[in-house]
Amino acid sequence: MKMISNGEEDTFAIAARVAKTLRAGDVILLHGDLGAGKTTFTKGLAKALGIAETVTSPTFNYVKEYHGGRLPLYHFDMYRVADADEVYELGLEEYFQRGGVVVAEWNKLDGIDRPIDIYITPKGGNVREIEIDDKRIGC
């Protein structure tokens, strides 16, 4: 499913639609270049889950945890991770078993069972194309 966002408010609305479908153990893989809006999408997702904390990019932390909403949110940034072996060395795979939602930017893991792939493509100015490929429900 492809949608157009004309700014942050639209991106938050699209993220809220996704949030309504989420269950414990779901994994969202965010795809897009630097500055595409991956963290903005995650902010909207957290807000829709009822998380009051300010969401920021976890680039220098690898993962940030957010609690207090309908589901815990674990926001990964694997940009600086070399490969799947380093992901395991860092212990990031343990988050997949914590009963929350994992949102991963710059994914380096293979074999994730039925992820929700979200592709964010800038189209000029504040406009983004957001494509959702949800392998859980086959779209």
pLDDT tens per residue across all 139 residues of the chain: 999 999 999 999 999 999 999 999 999 999 999 889 999 999 999 999 999 999 988 777 788 999 999 999 999 887 776 677 777 777 677 878 888 999 988 887 777 788 999 999 999 999 999 999 987 655 4
What integer pLDDT is reported at residue 40 of this predicted model? 95
What are the structural domain ranges in the chain?
Answer: 2-134
Q: Which CATH architecture has domain 2-134?
A: 3-Layer(aba) Sandwich (3.40)
Cβ-contact 59, 72 below 8 angstroms: no
Q: Rounded to whole angstroms, how far apart are CA atoms 66 and 55? A: 8
Q: Rounded to whole angstroms, how far apart are CA atoms 30 and 77? A: 10
With CA atoms as reference, report the closest residue to 5 among 88, 125, 133, 135.
125
What integer pLDDT is reported at residue 53 of this predicted model? 94
Tokens of 21: 């479908």
